[in-house]
Amino acid sequence: MDNNRTIRKEQPGDIDEIWAVNTEAFGSEAEANLVNTLRKTGIPYISLVCEIKRILVGHILFTPVELIGDTSGLRITGLGPMAVIPELQNRGIGSSLVRAGVQQSKAESCDAIVVLGHPGYYPRFGFAPSMKSNISSEYDFPDEVFMILELNNGSLRGKRGIIRYHDAFGKL
């Protein structure tokens, strides 16, 4: 079934299906509501979906984050949430979404991507614990689960500080 997968940008008609995918994948409405809240704020975002035979089965969102105190114009985006319907998890759909999102982030001139995620999953895409970059999250999580991927070589050189997410994330 998943040989015919398509990764594409979110379309206005996808909103209800994206909500359903996030709700099903996470087992609650919290992440789905977060996606809707972020979409309504008007901030620039990258939202990609995966569909198989015209059925939406996965979603990934990237939104801007701030490196507190940095005035260099550094563009960092945060990956998350990412959702794949449970019956199709572990079949490469999430990986396809991450790769497509990284490419889209590069195309939109982002310097780096941060993610709060599984330390056994995200390093395969080049993410490394952010503590190696002297950058941390505003949220209190173990160092190994907050990771960063530098998209433009050297863009994080000499940078340090705390990543601040959109306020909507604090309500999760």
pLDDT digits (tens, 9 = 90+) for 29-49: 999 999 999 999 988 999 999
Q: Which residues of the chain are modeled with pLDDT < 70? A: 1-3, 172
- Which H/E stretch holds residue 44? none
What pLDDT does 62 receive?
97
What pLDDT does 70 receive?
86
What pLDDT does 1 receive?
45
What pLDDT does 3 receive?
64
| Contact present, 58 and 101 (Cβ < 8 Å) | no
Sign, Cα dihedral of 138, 144, 146, 150:
positive
> What is the Cα–Cα distance from 55 to 78, expressed in whole angstroms?
26
- Which H/E stretch holds residue 88? none
Looking only at the bridges linking them, the beta strands covering 76-84 and 5-9 are unpaired
Q: Count CB-CB contacts under 10 A for residue 110.
A: 21
Question: Distance of CA 84 to CAs 26, 45, 81, 108, 128, Å?
Answer: 9, 19, 10, 24, 23
Q: Count CB-CB contacts under 10 A for residue 28.
A: 11
**The CATH number of the domain where 83 resides is what?**
3.40.630.30
What pLDDT does 142 receive?
87
- Side-chain half-sphere CA neighbours of 157 within 13 A: 4
Please count the structural domains in the chain. 1
- Domain ranges, residue 123: 2-171
| Contact present, 61 and 45 (Cβ < 8 Å) | yes
Which is nearest to 162 in space by CA: 36, 25, 70?
A: 70
pTM for the model = 0.93
The single residue listed with the structure tokens 């614990």 is 129
